[in-house]
Amino acid sequence: MLRLPETLRGAFKEPLGPVYVETDALLADAGDPIVAVGDVVTYHLRVAGRDPDVSVLDGRTKREAVSEEIAAVLAGGNPRIEVENPPATLSADMLDALREAIDRDENVVIHVTGEEDLATLPAIVAAPDGASVVYGQPDEGMVLVPVTPETRAEARDLVGRMDGDVEAAFDRLEQR
């Protein structure tokens, strides 16, 4: 549905919010619900006793399979939605799964075949005001993005600069 153009790759290097290295400090500042994008971030939140409302996982970190310890903590428990999302894209399946998972009253895991890296942006667009989207910043920590009209507008701007049917993507993400 959407593809990240080469010209936009640099826009994703800077964190979209504050970076935390302590999970407890992040949780003290986080809103509700929490959407976690990434296996390691989800692992840290679960170990700290807070299962994210929505977890987006692909079984990898820095292009390598996660450790057995992380995989064990992430296994089982929550209902799963299986999606395919090729690298550097946002598939229609991914956007639909985010909308569905955020709307559910139970914790949900979106398991991605492919890559989940870009899911942060549509998660910010789809989540309600007051929510938090948490993702990993490689070799730095966890980024906490409070969902506000301002952060949603920033995420919409970045999604809007991707190649593909942007309006159809936003239609899939809008709150129902």
- 129 marked as binding residue: no
Residue type, 135: Y
Tokens of 39: 């296996």
- 171 marked as binding residue: no
Backbone angle region of 130, left / alpha / beta, with phi > 0 → left and psi within -120 to 50 → alpha: left
Q: Could you tell me if 95 and 172 are in contact, meaning their C-beta atoms sit under 8 angstroms apart?
A: yes
pTM comes to 0.94
- 58 marked as binding residue: yes
Q: Could you tell me if 105 and 134 are in contact, meaning their C-beta atoms sit under 8 angstroms apart?
A: no
- 133 marked as binding residue: no
- 109 marked as binding residue: no
Cis peptide before 33 (omega within 30 of 0): yes
Per-residue pLDDT tens listing for the chain (176 residues): 999 998 888 877 889 999 999 999 999 999 999 999 999 999 999 999 999 999 999 988 877 888 899 999 999 778 999 999 999 999 999 999 999 999 999 999 999 999 998 999 999 999 999 999 999 998 899 999 999 999 999 999 999 999 999 999 999 998 55
